[in-house]
Copies of this chain bind each other. A is one copy, B any other.
Amino acid sequence: MPYVNIKITREGASTEQKAELIKGVTDLLAKILGKNPATTVVTIDEIETDNWGIGGESVTVRRERGQ
Binding site for B on A (CB under 8 A): 1-9, 13, 15, 17-29, 32-33, 35, 37-47, 50-61
Contact = CB atoms under 8 A, between A and B. Distances in A.
A65 to B, nearest CB: 14
B54 A18 contact: no
A32 B17 CA distance: 6
Contacts of A9: 1
A56 B32 contact: no
B33 A8 contact: yes
A41 B56 CA distance: 8
A20 B8 CA distance: 21
B43 A3 contact: yes
